[in-house]
Amino acid sequence: MKNHVLRPLWLVLAAIALLLLARYLMVPKDFGVNGRSFTYGFHRLSSVADWQKFPDKFKGRDYCNDCHDQKVSENASSKHRNIQCENCHGPAYGHPDNPSKLPIDRSRELCLRCHSKLPYPGSQRGLLKGIDPERHNPGQACAECHNPHHPDQEVG
């Protein structure tokens, strides 16, 4: 073969070899191969142990119930009974060791995540009762008028 054909061929082969060498040196040995079936995944098998040592950020309603049983039972009888406490109050990681880490978000934006009217035809989300944030008390925090644990009850 002529040089004008061999040079690009050698260049492509060198690039492939360089790529395979870089992959061999940079990718961990346990990346992608999991178990005896040799199925491939996009994680290191040894990272499972690392994640098991990682502390939970979201604890769940049962964790809140240990100290806030009155609020949890109050919420259990409201329309918000299916919503975990941490959806509004943030993750309980580090609480009660440091109560200031669990602030109460009373912002309008938090409530509007779920309570804005979204007309999705054919979706159950469109059936949820919602408000038009442009017309319903704009610029005012929802918690000024509504009890967050019982949103259908107005604050007196």
Calpha distance 61→99 (Å, rounded): 16
Ranges of each domain in the chain: 56-104, 105-156
pLDDT tens digits for 61-71?
Answer: 888 888 888 88
The pLDDT score that the predictor gives to residue 156 is 63
CA 47 to each of CA 34, 38, 53, 99: distance values in angstroms, whole numbers, following the listed order: 12, 17, 10, 31
The DSSP element (H or E) to which 67 belongs, if any, is none
Calpha distance 153→147 (Å, rounded): 6
Percent of the chain with pLDDT over 90: 9
pLDDT tens digits for 130-152?
Answer: 888 899 988 888 888 888 777 66
